[in-house]
Amino acid sequence: MSEIKVHSEDTVAVWKIPLADGVHEVEFEHGTATGKRVIRLDGKVIKRKEWMFRLVGDEIFNIGHTQCIIRVEPDGLFMYTYSLWVDGKILSDYYEYISKTRSTWLITTEDDGTEHRIILDRETMDIFLDGTKITDAMSEFIENGTQTHFFIGETLATIKTEHSGDKKIGVMHNLFINGELVKSL
C-alpha cells in the first residue's frame, strides 16, 4: 500500500500510518547505486545513511512508542521491493488489525474550534485524545452496556458501548459530543 511521490529522484515509497496521535507519512529514499537511505517522517528527515555496501536489509525507527521497519529485499537483478512493518505487522495487516480493534472519530470543539482525534481501543477500552490516554474518564453501567464520560476542554464527550441485539453486528461503540452522535471514520 505505497504510493510514489516525487520528493527526490531516489524516493521509492511513501506510506501513510494511522496512529493514536494522527496519520503520519513515511517517505523512503533508496539510492540503488550508493546504498543511500533516507527516512522522512511527516516531511522531516529522521534517519540518513549516505554510503552502504549492503543494498538490502531493514531500517528500524520509531514513531513515538510504535516501532516501524522498512524492509528492502531483492527482486531480480538490480530491482528491490520495499515494505513497511508497523508493530510487527506488515502495513496491510496493521490496517486490518486497527480496523478491527479501534474506533476513531475526528471532532471539532465548539468552544475553541480545535480539531481532535478520539480513539477507542476496543480490546482494552482505553480512550485516547490526540494521542494521549485519557485517565480521568468516568464510566457507568446502562441497559445493554456502559457509557464513559470525559471532557475535551469544556465539551462533554460520551462513548456508549452497547450490544446491538444482532449477533452479526455485536457490540457497537458510539461517540456523542454534547449529546449529538458523531460518525466514526
Claim to verify: residue 20 and residue 58 sit in the same structural domain:
yes
Tell whether 16 and 70 lie within a shared domain.
yes
Say if residue 118 is in the same domain as residue 176. Answer: yes
Tell me which of 52, 87, 122 is where a domain ends.
87
pLDDT by residue (tens digit) across 111-162?
788 999 999 999 999 999 999 999 999 999 998 899 999 999 889 999 999 9
**Is 2 within a domain?**
no
172 alpha-carbon distance from chain centroid: 21
Grid coordinates belonging to 124: 482494552
Res 4: pLDDT: 37
C-alpha to C-alpha distance for 149 and 106, rounded to whole angstroms = 17
pTM above 0.75, yes or no: yes
Q: Which residues contact 159 (CB under 8 A, 6 or more apart)?
A: 120, 127, 147, 148, 173, 174, 175, 176
Residue 64 CA to residue 42 CA, distance in Å, equals 13
Q: What is the pLDDT of residues 34-75, one digit of tens each?
A: 889 999 999 999 999 988 777 889 999 999 999 999 999 998
**Binning pLDDT at 50, 70 and 90, where does residue 7 land?**
low
